[in-house]
Amino acid sequence: MSGDSAEEKSDLRVTLEFLQPAYDIRDTAQLRLSVTNTGTAPAHNLTLTTSGPLTPTWYPLPSPWTIEPDASIEATAAMDLSRLAGAGPLTITATVLADTPDADPSDNTASATATVTQQRSAYTGTVYGDANADSVRQPGEELANALVTVSGGTPAGTYRTRTDTDGHFAFQDLPVGRYEIGVEAASDGWVFRRNSIDTTADRETVMDLFGVRDLTGAFTASMRFDNNLNRAAETVPLTIRLTNLGGTPITGLHAWCESGGPEGDDLGGLGTYTGVSIAARSTAVVHARTTIHRSTEPGTNYVVSCHFGLFSGFPGVVDARAVTRVAPGYATLSGFVVVLDGYTSCYPVIFPRCGGPRARGQAGVPVYLADSTGRVVVRTVSGERGEFAFAPVIEGTYSIGVAGPWRIVTTRTDRPYPFRLRPGPDLTRVWVEPGPEQREPTPPPTRPAPPVVPPRGVQVAHPVPVTRPGDLAQTGVDPAWSVVSGLLAVLLGAFLIRRSRRPLR
């Protein structure tokens, strides 16, 4: 019995292969591992080790790993070839061992080889100093002996060269890939931004590199809001002052600002293609506008930060910022009053109320907006298509209500009531259905009739006051005495006229 047990052993046979014979160095190589137990006993607690310039990542591998007799298991692995030092043959060796005896350990190891290729490329260009800041190379602007450095490619590397007397440079044997480019001028006064380029195999890539004058310490910038207090969601003015400290004019000055307004900034001349020019030792004033973001909370500060320079991304820019206090903004709510007009179809399924509700605009519905205390602040009446638009209100918490023989269908409202109105435009639908007559919580005020103003040059008699019964009695004068006094005045007037017509003796 013991002799039979001694003859039972596992026998692992390992095979390894690449899924294709050749790869580019920018690719990911795929390996396949196969392990078969040709013995008569299970192989327990298998371990896998590999050797080579790269370490494969295997999946899936069970844990613990056991293979029964006449059973096999496969696993695959991926390798990032960009980590290789260069092109050439790539060989990976794999060994699988178990903690049980193996009948033939010689076939527990296998190797696989693939060819790794690498494509080459060329990159050339000209380095020049953009003296007039127009981003166009002109004769005489070329910079000689400038150091050009490119970093990147696959595999990654760093390469350097210098420009000739015409500002020209060339890299003739670069690995294909993406490169970051840096330039250092041989003379002071020029600054360059970082550039990037993607090179292509078997084709020369051409890109010129330009520098601008270093304006560090050459000018100052300040900015302020024209008003200390501004409302959210409004476009407000601010003033920018740029002072040239040197004896050389500055041309083509631009600004790049960071603010939250979705409409962006109107930077005046600083946002145009030509930019702003500043004469030597003088100050330029730019009137700009920016939009306060609608989400800015009242009582907080809103900050606009700007960078000033010749081109974006170059060193030597000057920074400035402006701060304003934010007041509550105005919200404008509009939308449609709608009634249910059936349900949408969900063909081929046909049964009542199959689809969603279909809306139809309802005209002539009084709509109002009430604040958190229930006071009506604005009101309107829906138009012929059900449209309505409230006058602007200060941001806050509001509810929508309707008057007349209508009531709101709360189960179909676009938002729960009450709701928060933020500054800026907002849109909603109000679903209504016929209901009992209802009035506003606060009735609309009655407007007095406007006074009639006569045109100039027209004499208008004073209108006779309208009297009502009892008006004279309220003054304390009896009406009978008023009649007698009038008759006496008429008789006295007639007597005086008759006397005045007698001839003199």
Q: Count the helix, strand and coil residues of the chain and give each as a percent rounded to the nearest 5.
A: 10, 50, 45
Q: In what order do the strands lie in the sheet with 235-244?
A: 219-225, 235-244, 283-291, 265-266
Mean pLDDT of 241-248: 94
What's the whole-number mean pLDDT along residues 170-175? 94
Mean pLDDT, residues 288-301 taken together: 92
Pick the CATH number of 120-213 from 3.30.70.890, 3.30.360.10, 3.40.50.970, 2.60.40.10: 2.60.40.10
pLDDT number for residue 77 = 95
Name which of 322, 265, 321 is nearest 293 in CA terms.
265
Residue 430 vs residue 482, higher pLDDT: 430
Question: pLDDT digits over 86-99, tens only?
Answer: 999 999 999 999 99
To the question of pTM greater than 0.95 for the whole model, the response is no
Single-letter amino acid, residue 389: A
Please tell me the predicted confidence (pLDDT) of residue 8.
87
Q: What is the pLDDT of residue 342?
A: 76
Single out the residue of 421, 420, 364, 412 nearest to residue 391, CA to CA. Answer: 421
Sign of the alpha-carbon torsion through 310, 314, 318, 322 = positive
Residue that wins the pLDDT comparison between 240 and 446: 240
Over residues 11-28, the mean pLDDT reads 96
53-62, 231-240, 341-350, 368-377: segment of lowest average pLDDT: 341-350
Q: What is the pLDDT of residue 189?
A: 84
Q: How far apart, in whole angstroms, are the C-alpha atoms of residue 357 and residue 361?
A: 13
Residue 16's region, left for phi above 0, alpha for psi from -120 to 50, else beta, is beta
Most confident by average pLDDT, 105-109, 261-265, 409-413, 447-451: 105-109
Distance of alpha carbon 337 from alpha carbon 268, whole angstroms: 42
Please write the tens of the pLDDT for every residue from 110-156.
999 999 999 999 999 999 999 888 888 999 999 999 999 999 999 89
Domains 8-117 and 219-328 share a fold: yes
Residue 501 has pLDDT above 80, yes or no: no
Residues in the chain: 505
Mean pLDDT, residues 156-178 taken together: 95
347 pLDDT band (50/70/90 cuts)? low
Out of 164-178, 338-352, 404-418, 490-504, least confident range: 490-504
Looking at residue 348, its pLDDT comes to 58
Would you state the pLDDT for residue 468? 43
Tell me how crowded residue 269 is: count the other CB atoms within 10 A of its CB: 17
CA–CA distance, 144 with 128 (Å, rounded to integer): 8
Q: What are the Cα distances from residue 311, in Å, to 2, 20, 135, 318, 319?
A: 88, 49, 9, 12, 14
Pairing state of beta strands 250-258 and 301-309? antiparallel
Q: Give the tens place of pLDDT for each residue, 271-285.
A: 988 899 999 999 999
Q: Is the pLDDT of residue 387 over 90?
A: yes
For the domain 219-328, what is the CATH code? 2.60.40.10
| Residue 497: band (very low, low, confident or very high) from pLDDT cuts 50, 70, 90 | low
CATH code assigned to 331-438: 2.60.40.10
DSSP assignment of 50-116 equals EESSS--EEE---SS--B-TT-EEEEEEEEEGGGSSSSEEEEEEEEEE-SS-BS-GGGSEEEEEEEE
| More confident call, 493 vs 404 | 404
How far is residue 260's CA from residue 316's CA, in Å, rounded to a whole number? 25
pLDDT at 321 over 90: yes
Q: Is the pLDDT of residue 54 over 50?
A: yes
Query: Are the CB atoms for 304 and 322 separated by under 8 Å?
Result: yes
Q: pLDDT: is 258 or 9 the higher one?
A: 9
Q: Tell me whether strands 12-18 and 47-51 are parallel, antiparallel or unpaired.
A: unpaired
Tokens 């910038």: give the residue.
Answer: 221
Question: Percentage of residues in the chain with pLDDT exceeding 90?
Answer: 66
Q: Give the DSSP H or E segment for 322.
A: strand 318-327
Least confident of 176-190, 263-277, 372-386: 263-277
| Whole-number pLDDT of residue 412 | 76
CA distance 500 to 503: 8
Residues 220/245, Cβ–Cβ less than 8 Å:
yes
What is the pLDDT confidence band of residue 481, given thresholds at 50, 70 and 90?
very low
Question: Which homologous superfamily is 8-117 in?
Answer: ntegrin, alpha v. Chain A, domain 3 (2.60.40.1510)
Specify whether the CB–CB gap between 212 and 130 falls below 8 A: yes
The ranges assigned to domains in the chain are 8-117, 120-213, 219-328, 331-438
Average pLDDT over residues 179-207: 91
Q: What angle do CA 25, 31, 34 make, to 5 degrees?
A: 170
What pLDDT does 214 receive?
87
Please name the residues in contact with 316: beta carbons below 8 A apart, sequence gap of 6 or more. 191, 212, 214, 215, 216, 309
What pLDDT score was predicted for residue 475?
A: 45
Phi, psi of 475 (to 5 degrees): -85, -15
- Residue 188: partners with Cβ closer than 8 Å, 6 or more residues away: 214
Q: What is the mean pLDDT of residues 392-404?
A: 94
Does residue 458 surpass a pLDDT of 50? no
Q: In what order do the strands lie in the sheet with 157-162?
A: 157-162, 147-152, 178-184, 195-198
Closest of 315, 318, 319 to residue 191, by C-alpha: 315
Residue 389, SS3 per DSSP: strand
